[in-house]
Amino acid sequence: MPSDPKLRSFAPRLIAWQKQHGRHALPWQGGIQADAYPVWLSEIMLQQTQVETVIPYFQRFLASFPDLATLAAAHEDVVLGHWSGLGYYSRARNLHAAARRVVAEHGGQFPRDIDAILALPGIGRSTAAAIAAFAFNERRAILDGNVKRVLARVFGIEGWPGEKMVENRLWALAETLLPDADIRAYTQGLMDLGATVCTRGKPRCERCPYADDCIANIQCRQRELPAARPKKVMPEKSTAMLVLLNAGEVLLEKRPNSGIWGGLWSLPEFPEQDDPQAAASRLGYQAVRVDEMPGELPGFKHSFTHFRLYIQPWRLQVSRSPTAAEPGRIWLSLDDLDGAALPTPVRRILEALSQ
């Protein structure tokens, strides 16, 4: 047990706060799980995504894939369709791959061993610890973005948490603070405190159980701790997209599994300086613009974590009927967009056509 009184009292204060003020009605919360499926699913969805956004996706996903075996047996396109709009699609592909591995290597039962959890696709140290704590009551330390912010402010940890030396210091502190009991309440408390009280923009310090001895609060350094990511210019890229239409259907191409929108169905792309009709011809289609269907649609920007993409869509009418199914291409009815595995900006373009 730590000798520093502040370190010793950290966990008891947080556990007491969580039991009184924390979140207790999230759809993935409950008793110890017979398997970790709902916990695992929620933790993957919550990576880089807020709770309010995740809840409806979690509920729809669980309704369609009520257990791990159902998820493992599903086609990847169906899984990606349920994930469409949630972003960071590698999470969905990893989730699906991990479900199949659990069925193949663990008899369909999510493993309890931390090394076996870490070996599954899409699961890092903090996510594995959260699954172990919530599903199996294991004493493991987590360190997601919310937790980094709480620890940096309460204990005055200098530097950007994304820097390896700072992150290592935070991990060591997180391990030191672990309680001997009530690990689930403690872990949930860290998440709740960071999400609802110790927020990035306007922390509610008057509601915090550490208000009296938090370094950031005492020194009025809430905006400085934790240190922000070093600024760099956000790169911008651009592309043009073909919206090839025929009899109420649009041509889509399956993207490679690696890279942005991996495994999703997207509109064919071509360099923005090229002629759209020539680009359609290279795909094997003769496309024309007609008076009642102007060719150019408004361009717009879509932001990713590390860059912004300017998208210029071009709407063209294909002058011949679609051919039989081609590898990596499909013709999708504009009336069937709801369940399709589409990137958010592509869905935006096609939904505008349907209005």
> How many whole angstroms separate alpha carbon 190 and alpha carbon 1?
19
The b-or-e profile of 21-46 (16+ CB within 10 A means b, else e) is ebeeebebeeeebebbbbbbbbbbbb
> How many whole angstroms separate alpha carbon 214 and alpha carbon 123?
31
What angle in degrees, to the nearest 10, is found between the helix axes of 5-21 and 183-196? 80
Q: Is 187 exposed, middle or buried (0-12, 13-18, 19+ CB in 10 A)?
A: buried
> How many whole angstroms separate alpha carbon 290 and alpha carbon 229?
49
Where do runs of H (alpha helix) occur along 74-118? Answer: 76-83, 90-106, 114-118
Q: Is 76 a catalytic residue?
A: no
Q: Are strands 300-303 and 287-288 parallel, antiparallel or unpaired?
A: unpaired
C-alpha dihedral over 61, 67, 73, 75, to 10 degrees? 0
- Beta-bridge partner residues of 317: 245, 288
Write down the residue that tokens 């969580």 correspond to: 18
176 within 8 A of 2, measured Cβ to Cβ: yes
Q: Is 297 exposed, middle or buried (0-12, 13-18, 19+ CB in 10 A)?
A: middle
> How many whole angstroms separate alpha carbon 80 and alpha carbon 91?
10
Annotate 108-147 with three-state secondary structure. CCCCCCHHHHHCCCCCCHHHHHHHHHHHHCCCCCCCCHHH
Question: Of the residues 43, 224, 269, 326, which is catalytic?
Answer: 43
Q: Which residues are identified as catalytic?
A: 43
